[in-house]
Structure 1
């Protein structure tokens, strides 16, 4: 299903494929889950349990169950809550189709106390994701370049 949507950095409406947008949001959730798991594995010393023991939404649970390598990652309840909060924010993100990085986004989704937890995760695990999960890291870079390209194409059309 294609829908017209206006974005704050663009003057004109652009067409959005809702299926592509849903796939991108699911990918962003998987990426954040992995980044949080990497961060917890290396930096959090509290008692933790395997991410396979937690309940996530359908697409994420499938992702975890199909990848036994992910079962080794352990998080605690605090980071589980943070992941779930991030998933809700991702679902509601009005800019997800063309968004590059959250910190470059015109809308602030997170409260400052949430950002205090999220920023260290992004900074720490962002560097490690390419080594630990190169395919997902590469896919993120490709999505990033495609989003930038989409913005530039639409800005060129506006001029």
Structure 2
């Protein structure tokens, strides 16, 4: 069984990679993040650090409580929609692991209802 800290770090790493990919492609940054994407990454990491449900969920998309402010939630959705499919090319192992883990979690949640 993976520890809560490991899950939290994996989720933060995934979000950071997705935001970085988005920023490179959409905002044409060469190194680092633009201020808008840096703010989103800091916000996403902070929300993950404060998540009380980390033990019982895999990713925010599977959570019953959405703790993001509406503006930030829309921004992260845009990033996820753009970066999700492209992660297969830049980080294939991470992307496939994420999909498998998400599917398992959704199935587990449906069975518990």
Decide: shared fold, TM above 0.5.
yes
Query: Is the contact made by 2:57 and 2:105 (CA closer than 8 Å) also made in structure 1?
Result: yes
Query: Is the contact made by 1:98 and 1:150 (CA closer than 8 Å) also made in structure 2?
Result: no
CA RMSD of aligned residues (A): 2.3
- 1:127 matched to 2:85: yes
Structure showing greater radius of gyration is 1
> Are residues 29 and 108 of structure 1, via their aligned partners in 2, closer, same or farther at CA, if it must alter by over 3 Å?
same
Query: Is the contact made by 2:62 and 2:106 (CA closer than 8 Å) also made in structure 1?
Result: no
* More deviation, 104-113/114-123: 104-113
Structure showing greater relative contact order (alpha-carbon pairs closer than 8 Å, 6 or more residues apart): 2
> Are residues 104 and 27 of structure 1, via their aligned partners in 2, closer, same or farther at CA, if it must alter by over 3 Å?
closer
Q: Distance in 1 between matches of 2:72 and 2:19?
A: 13
Which residue number corresponds to residue 72 of structure 1? none
Which residue number corresponds to residue 109 of structure 1? 67
Q: TM-score, normalised on structure 2? A: 0.82
Q: TM-score, normalised on structure 1? A: 0.61
Which residue number corresponds to residue 23 of structure 2? 40
- Higher-strand-fraction structure: 1
1:13-28 equivalences under 5 Å are 20-28=3-11
Cα deviation for residue 119 of structure 1 reads: 1.1
For structure 1, the residue ranges without an aligned partner over 5 or more in a row are 1-16, 52-74
Partner of 1:97, secondary structure, is helix
Q: Distance in 1 between matches of 2:35 and 2:30?
A: 9
Cα deviation for residue 103 of structure 1 reads: 4.0
Superposed CA offset, 1:98-129 (max 9, x none): 33553442212111111232111010001111
